[in-house]
Every structure is written in C-alpha cells, then in structure tokens.
Chains A and B, each alone.
Chain A
Amino acid sequence: MSILVIAEHDNSSLNVATLNSVTAAQAIGSDIDILVVGASCQDVATQAAQVAGIGKVLVADNSAYANALAENVAPLIAEVGAGYSHILATATTTAKNIIPRAAALMDVQAISDISAVVSADTFKRPIYAGNVIATVQSSDAIKVLTVRGTAFDAAAAEGGSASIEAVASAHDSGVSSFIGEEVAVSDRPELTAAEIVISGGRGMGNGENFDMLYSIADKLGAAVGASRAAVDAGFVPNDMQVGQTGKIVAPDLYVAVGISGAIQHLAGMKDSKVIVAINKDEEAPIFSVADYGLVADLFAALPEFESAL
C-alpha cells in the first residue's frame, strides 16, 4: 500500500485542507507521500515535508502548473500516481476540477467526497444531498479518492522530516489558459476553516441586510455563509453557499439566521459542534438540528445579539 496525497496550495503556502487528506490516508496505510504541483512552489514543498508521517514530498515545479489548470495537472497526477495504490485529495474546487480528469486518464472510476475509510478498498460517502450514506467498494487497481475535509481531523503540520524530490515531467496541453482571478479579500476567516460561522438565508430579505451578519462576524472572528436560497435570490455570491452543492463546514459554532433548513443546507453544516438557529417560523426544520433555537424576528434579534457580545 503506497498512498499519494495531492497538496492543495497557492504556490506559497500549504493549504491546511491537505492535512485532512493525510489523516484519511493514514486510515488506509502508513506509506504516504505528498505531491506538490505548482510554479515557484518550493516553500510549499518545505512545509509539506514537515507534516508528520510523510515519506517523501514530490515537487513538480513548472510554469505550466502555475494556475493549477486541470488540462496540465491531471496528466502529471496520472503519470506520478501510476506507481501508487491510492491517490487522495481534499475535495476543494481545485481537486474536484482536476481529480476526475486524472482518474479518467488512468481509466479509473474515482470515488468522490469520502467521509469514512472502511478498508483499503471500501469507503463511505454521502449521496442524494446527504440524505443517505453509501458504502462503496472499488475494484480498480488504483483507488482515486477525494476526501470530505470536515470528516477527517487535520494531521499534525509539524514533526515530520520527509525528503524532497523534484519531478521533472512537464505537461502543457495548450488547450486552456488562465485569464484572471477575483478572490474576495476579507479579514474574516475562510468558511471551511473558521471556528465560528454565521449564515443567512432567504429570511434576510436582501443583500444589504447581510451587513448585520458581517458586523456580528467581525465581533466573533467568524466567517459568513449563506443558504442556497439566499444565493439563488441574488443576495450574496455563490462562494458563500453552505450546503451539499456548496461548501461543507463543521465549525465549533454555526449560527443559522433566517434559514429554514432544507436538507441541501443541512448536509453542509450538520456536523458542526454547536448549532444555533434564529428563525421566526417555529416549525422550520432547522430547529430539529439546532442545539439552541430562538424563535424570533431576526431583524430584532440580530442587533440585540450583536450588542450582547
């Protein structure tokens, strides 16, 4: 059993999401390497080498990999991964884009978003928007998996001393190019990494009213999320969406404001440690998963909540 974990990074630092896949890999076996694919990404390799329990770090450092274009990265993963029994990556938008492409090049049926490792070839994963958990067994020689980050604790980022090896192979398909990126700059923590998340739903009424959530979030050091209904209604951008087709979060505290609690949304937050629901409809399904429910008009409750903090 030899396992390759694909590093998630921005060419300068290792994204902690990678550490969730390392933990999932440890549940499969102990011979674990990390592959860093990027451009001018040596700092990432140095950080990856410090992760506890890693054998070696492979680094493919080439300008063709600068923006993690799937057309260029997938053939490299297929090439390097051919020597392994398992390939794992945490299910970020980057991995969801690249991993199935790599799997198809290897003629492997990938398994998406595993939430538990049963054995080296058998895994659990949520299907039907998290209504049902399936147990599936792969018969492919190489298992290609994406990992639901919230289902596995992060491995220790320090304590390891893996060797670092360069991978010379460069792939540049020429069929795609990177034009630009607009990443929201915010002092608030990232949704999937935040210890506290406060989310608004359709009950917020409009995008301006989310300001009430932002000011509470800033007091709590929280990230702000939204339900699909709030995104559909155009209140906030899609990258704030918490749910089966958006971000999966599991913070210490999740505060759902004006969110009814559709199964689609619950699938994205029900593993949170403590859930608070504020909704004026006492029949809202969100209350059935909330540790603390407050039946109240959010426009009265939110200002009061903020001043009480």
Chain B
Amino acid sequence: MKVLVAVKRVVDYNVKVRPKSDNTDVDLANVKMSINPFCEIAVEEAVRLKEKGVATEIVAVSVGPQQSQEQLRTALALGADRAILVSTDDVLEPLAIAKCLKAVCDSESPDIILMGKQAIDGDNNQTGQMLAALAGYGQATFASELSIDGGKATVVREIDGGLQTVALSLPALVTADLRLNEPRYASLPNIMKAKKKPLDTSTPADLGVDTAARVSLLGVELPAERQAGIKVEDVAMLVDKLKNEAKVIS
C-alpha cells in the first residue's frame, strides 16, 4: 500500500510574526522555517503505518519554494522513501495547492493521503478537504486515531464536544490533529541517509495547474492590544473585585 504524505514549509512555531513596516504583508526576512507541526504528525503516522506493515512505500510531497526541499529532507529522515517537490515562487492558496496535489495523486495513485489539518501560517484548514473534493476521495479531518484494514480506513475524529468515528473506502484522505501521535526526532544516521533518497522536482505548469490567486492580500495589522490590568493581593481581593467591580460573578 502506498502512502502519500503532504508537508508544508512554514515559519517555525516559536517565531512571533510581525507585520512589515508598511503593513503590506508579514515580515518573514531571516526567520526560522520548519515543517508545519501538523504535517510532521502526518509524516509520523505514515512511518508508523509502514512499521506496522500496512504501508509499503511512503512518498512525501510539498508544494512551495525550492527551499521546501529542506522540509522534504526532514520527512525523508523521518522515514519517507522518496519525495516530490512541486516548485513555485508564488505563495499559493489552498485551492491551487490542492490542484497540484490532485495532479500528483493522479500520477502516483496512492491508497491513502495523509496531511496536517492546517498550516500554522495561513491557518486556513482547507487544503485536505479541497484535495479530497477534487479527487472524489472520502475525507477524515482532525484525526486522532487511524487504522487501516480490509481496504477501509477507520478514523476517530476530534469534533466539537467529543469524538466521531467514520469509515472510508480507499483511497482516502486523512488530516492529522494534535493527538494522532507524538512525532519522533530524526536520528543523525537517518538524516545522512535522507540526503541520498530520491527527490524529484516539477512545477505547477508541468502539472497543468493554473495557480492564479483568487484572493488578494490588501494588508496586515497587529490585533488590538489588550491592556494589562492589576495584580490582586490574594484570593479574597480577587473574589471581591469579580463580584463588586467587574460584576461577573454573584
């Protein structure tokens, strides 16, 4: 069984992003870039499927700038067998990325596609659902548990208020939530080995995908700052303030 796992190069989650001085976009000059944390969970899940003997091959794919090779090498070091980069200097929207991934699915014919539920840059939470729509696959977003048996994927999903279990016929698309697993660290020997694994590059044009933007960014701003209040001395003073000043408890 073949697993396709999609990864995105994003600003490292520890970086506090700020607008550029002219507020046209965020300032990403010289900031640390990493694999999107939810994508890392998806890669880990793919590797576990292979370790369990369910998957036989893991193909990592990324749609983004040339430097996304670094994130693909990370996926290879974690256990992917080979990688595909759909290279573009444009910042693509989820629909355009989904179209590129659909083209990759058409040529790779994976049995299951694993992705993160959202990227921590645009926070769109769309690409997986869009790819599933374009490919006609069943989808299980926000997965916290995945098992594959008899041509079906059974997925436990995180929903408001609890958990939902769905079954999907393969090929199917699953997006990872936080609790699906805890990703491992790549070992040094595996990082070295990853450098020799195959990495193919193409472009959206090679795949016949029109990536023209539908949504334009007019500007960015900092959110309204909240003023710090006061420090209270003790619990009694806190309760008094809440009852008599803020009047939020009675």
Spell out A's residues near B (CB within 8 Å). Answer: 67, 69-71, 74, 92-94, 96-105, 107-113, 122, 126-140, 173-184, 190, 192, 196, 220, 228, 231-232, 238-239, 241, 244-245, 247, 252-253, 263-264, 270, 273-276, 282, 287-296, 301, 304-305, 308-309
Contacts and interface: CB of A to CB of B under 8 A. Distances in A.
A183 B164 CA distance: 8
Contact of A291 (B127, B172, B229): B229
Contacts of A291: 229-230, 246
Contact of B123 (A129, A270, A289): A129
A292 B168 CA distance: 49
A173 B133 CA distance: 11
11 contacts: A70-B139, A71-B138, A94-B160, A98-B129, A140-B215, A181-B159, A184-B161, A190-B160, A274-B248, A292-B246, A305-B235
B214 A176 contact: no
Interface string B146-163: 000000001001111111
A109 B94 contact: yes
Interface of B: 11, 13, 16-19, 26, 93-96, 98, 117-118, 120-127, 129-134, 136-142, 144, 154, 157-169, 172, 177-179, 213-223, 226, 228-232, 234-236, 238-239, 241-242, 246, 248-249
- Interface of A, secondary structure class, is mixed
A195 to B, nearest CB: 8
Contacts of B234: 294, 296
Contacts of B164: 67, 178, 180-182
Contacts of A253: 242, 246, 248-249
A177 B213 CA distance: 34
A113 B238 contact: no
Given A70-B139, A97-B141, A105-B133, A132 B18 contact: yes
